[in-house]
Amino acid sequence: MSYVNILDTSNKYDILYADPPWKFGGHGGTKWIPASFYYNVMSFEELKLLPVQNITRENCILFLWTVNPETKKCIEVGESWGFRLITLGFVWYKERANVGNYTMPQCELCWILKKGKIPSDRRRNPGVKSFYSEAVTRHSQKPDEFRKRIDMLFPRSRKIELFARQRWSDWDYWGEEIND
């Protein structure tokens, strides 16, 4: 488990797990604190320019957390990194409602995108469920359970978390909040 420079093309991964620091939309006059209050954010165009393809193997899976109002733009970021949308991977029920423009969102979505074929170590039918319920802790921090589920699906794949906020056993990481 180590910090990785995504400009270094010697590091190649089968699995990418990313919760980008999305900069998006307004708040419609409601009480709302933007993500930039908690950490540095990036525009969709800035995220598209990241050289993520430098660290991917020919066959690679991207687990990509998105912001619901801008799902299409978020998926376009993954596509700009060389992936194509496959399916919805995870739904996190946050056990609280947020202020929204139409309904009060309570879930975050993590999509699965693929480059090439599915990595060869995928376990078939390991009992990994897409839905998970856990209360929110720190702003935008995802529950550890999702990394555990990815480990169950791809037990031997080389993994990296992009935009990481904490270290995770047997994974490499890249992120402003935990750079060495």
The maximal CA–CA distance of the chain, rounded, in angstroms, is: 49
pLDDT at 50: 95
State how far the alpha carbon of 21 is from the alpha carbons of 5, 57, 113, 127, 149, in Å. 18, 24, 18, 30, 22
Mean pLDDT confidence for 35-59 = 86
pLDDT exceeds 70 at position 25: no
Domain 13-174: give its CATH code.
Answer: 3.40.50.150
The β-bridge partners of 173 are: 3, 161
| Domain extent listing, the chain | 13-174
Q: Closest Cα to residue 17, out of 177, 178, 147, 155?
A: 147
Query: Could you tell me the CA-to-CA distances from 99 to 32, 72, 115, 143 in Å, in that order?
Result: 7, 21, 35, 21
* The two structure tokens encoding residue 56: 């991917």
Q: How far is C-alpha 71 from the chain's CA centre?
A: 13
Q: What is the pLDDT of residues 54-105, one digit of tens each?
A: 999 999 999 999 998 899 999 999 999 999 999 999 999 999 877 777 888 8
Phi, psi values for residue 62, rounded to 5°: -115, 120
Determine the 3-state secondary structure of 15 from DSSP: strand
Q: Express each pLDDT in 115-171 by its tens digit.
A: 999 988 888 878 999 999 999 887 778 999 999 999 999 999 999 999 998 888 899
Quote the pLDDT of residue 28: 47
pTM: 0.89
pLDDT at residue 31 in the model: 52
Residue carrying the six token digits 């957390």: 65
Per-residue pLDDT for 29 more than 50? Answer: no
The band of 26, judged by pLDDT with boundaries at 50, 70 and 90, is low
Provide the edge-to-edge strand list for the sheet that holds 107-115: 131-133, 84-93, 107-115, 56-66, 13-18, 159-162, 172-174
